[in-house]
């Protein structure tokens, strides 16, 4: 089965014409070989590069069996995780699980008290289970949520029964992961986050595959799509590898002064795919005060909010459209004898066709307005093609990071807020830092707030 992903470059010109893109070929060839040979920065985190090896048949069967076991015992799964430990699963589930998407809910991605209180309330009386996902096993947000949810589950079903309803996904090394130590002591089932895979590249490992399987999505097709896209990426020729064309175009436009890449989708099912993409790109490339800012919009909804800015605001944008060619199910616009809204010229037309014309009209209007744009299309929103698209962007992001000259696989900047938060919370060991951070926070309050009584 082919991969089916296509990139339409027509509206990238004149800024990023095919001739200009082809001038990037040598650089793309070089970073492609650096990636494949494992000789670049962060090479210890390339476990995602070959999806078949990341998710061997035996592991996939084991995860499917656990998903079946949990589905027999629970109607709802609470996935506890943050960043790469939940966004990929949420992206796939919201795109593909249909009415079963509600069977998986999320926690540990926020510290907002109302969210967790409402979630705990909503779980009362339900049959539910937990998949706690944290590679480090010490991230504050999921660790706090796990304490609360584990206590609630144990209170509801008893400590013994709760054991069978909790699965932990974490680093295999108990020396590194406190979560593994807890799970082992308590007797929970465990899956590994491969040590050579970072969170934002982990959706096709047990991190994403267990919750996705619980939601009833065809995880085999998901992995197959990714594996086939990987095989297709064997070529580094930008003319025949759309992932690398995307990379060359966005890097060329970045060097011409574009500072924002807007990922624009045309289907609300892709809302969390865009959230996943923003983390993937933002955390991989946002280093050394460089890189495009990854943003997203969902059209046509946002044409009525952000559309004005995109059309006429500061010309700092490039836009990447995601298009799904298949416009099913068929929903036809009915006739209205009064025709008060003047829409009878659309009688019998499929809404999907109207959506497509809105897309074609928007791409042209934005091009005319000075926003170079490209369209990445898949034939159908199904597990196979979504798996391929996930891999497309993982591969593209890794290559793009190398082109930019950064390590796409680390995230040193994420530590800054944690250091301050722990100091303010007086975590043991951070006493010295606490005094300094407290002093600076106080100093930062020199000016009185401006407000209404």
Q: Which residues are catalytic?
A: 283, 304, 418
Q: At residue 297, what are phi and psi to the nearest 5 degrees? A: -140, 155
Does residue 162 have a cis bond before it (omega within 30 degrees)?
no
Q: How far apart are CA 228 and CA 33, in angstroms?
A: 19
Q: How far apart are CA 445 and CA 439, in angstroms?
A: 10
- Token pair in block for residue 272: 């969390």
Q: Under 8 Å CB-to-CB from 370, ≥6 apart: which residues?
A: 315
The least distance separating ligand PA5 from the CB of residue 84, rounded to whole angstroms, comes to 3
The least distance separating ligand PA5 from the CB of residue 147, rounded to whole angstroms, comes to 14
Does residue 277 have a cis bond before it (omega within 30 degrees)?
no
Q: How far apart are CA 128 and CA 155, in angstroms?
A: 13
Cross-sheet strand order for the sheet of 6-8: 6-8, 373-378, 317-324, 260-265, 293-298
Tell me the H-state helices in 45-166: 51-54, 57-73, 87-96, 113-123, 140-157, 159-163
The least distance separating ligand PA5 from the CB of residue 200, rounded to whole angstroms, comes to 4
Nearest to 144 by CA among 115, 121, 124, 173: 115
Q: How far apart are CA 433 and CA 396, in angstroms?
A: 39
Q: How far apart are CA 73 and CA 256, in angstroms?
A: 56
The least distance separating ligand PA5 from the CB of residue 414, rounded to whole angstroms, comes to 6
The least distance separating ligand PA5 from the CB of residue 101, rounded to whole angstroms, comes to 21
The least distance separating ligand PA5 from the CB of residue 108, rounded to whole angstroms, comes to 8
Does residue 14 have a cis bond before it (omega within 30 degrees)?
yes
Q: How far apart are CA 95 and CA 268, in angstroms?
A: 8
The binding site for ligand PA5 (CB under 6 A) comprises: 82-85, 134-136, 139, 142, 198-200, 283, 411
Nearer to ligand PA5, 296 or 411 (CB): 411
């Amino acid at each position: 089965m082919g991969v089916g992903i296509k990139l339409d470059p027509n509206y990238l010109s004149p800024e990023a014409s095919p001739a200009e893109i082809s001038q990037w070929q040598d650089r793309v060839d070089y970073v492609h070989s650096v990636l494949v040979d494992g000789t670049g920065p962060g090479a210890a985190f390339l476990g995602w590069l070959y999806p078949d090896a990341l998710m061997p048949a035996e592991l996939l069967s084991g995860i499917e069996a656990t998903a079946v076991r949990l589905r027999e015992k629970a109607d709802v799964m609470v996935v506890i995780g943050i960043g790469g430990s939940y966004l990929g699963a949420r992206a796939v589930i919201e795109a593909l699980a249909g009415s079963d998407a509600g069977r998986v809910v999320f926690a540990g991605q926020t510290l907002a008290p109302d969210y967790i209180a409402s979630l705990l309330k909503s779980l009362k009386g339900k049959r539910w289970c937990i998949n706690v996902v944290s590679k480090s096993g010490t991230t504050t947000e999921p660790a706090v949520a796990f304490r609360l949810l584990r206590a609630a589950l144990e209170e509801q079903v008893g400590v013994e029964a709760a054991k069978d309803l909790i699965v932990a996904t974490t680093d295999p090394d108990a020396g590194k992961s406190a979560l593994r130590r807890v799970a082992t002591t308590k007797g929970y089932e465990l899956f590994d986050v491969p040590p050579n895979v970072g969170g934002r590249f982990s959706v096709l490992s047990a991190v994403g595959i267990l919750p996705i399987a619980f939601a009833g999505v065809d995880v085999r097709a998901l992995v197959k799509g990714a594996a086939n896209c990987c095989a297709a990426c064997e070529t580094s020729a930008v003319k025949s590898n759309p992932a690398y064309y995307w990379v060359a175009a966005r890097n060329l436009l970045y060097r011409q002064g574009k500072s924002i890449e807007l990922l624009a989708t045309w289907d609300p099912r892709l809302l969390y795919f865009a959230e996943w993409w923003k983390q993937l790109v933002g955390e991989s490339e946002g280093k050394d005060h460089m890189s495009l800012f990854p943003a997203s919009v969902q059209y046509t909804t946002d044409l009525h909010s952000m559309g004005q800015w995109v059309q006429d605001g500061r010309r700092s944008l490039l836009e990447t459209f995601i298009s799904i060619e298949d416009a099913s199910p068929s929903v036809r616009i009915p006739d209205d004898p009064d025709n008060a809204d003047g829409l009878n010229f659309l009688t019998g037309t499929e809404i999907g066709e109207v959506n497509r014309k809105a897309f074609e009209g928007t791409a042209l209007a934005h091009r005319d307005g000075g926003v170079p744009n490209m369209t990445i299309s898949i034939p159908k929103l199904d597990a196979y093609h979504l798996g391929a698209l996930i891999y497309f962007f993982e591969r593209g992001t890794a290559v793009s990071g190398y082109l930019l000259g950064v390590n796409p696989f680390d995230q040193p900047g994420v530590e800054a807020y944690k250091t301050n938060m722990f100091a303010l919370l007086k975590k043991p060991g951070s006493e010295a830092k606490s005094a300094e951070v407290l002093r600076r926070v106080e100093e930062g309050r020199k000016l009185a707030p401006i407000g209404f009584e």
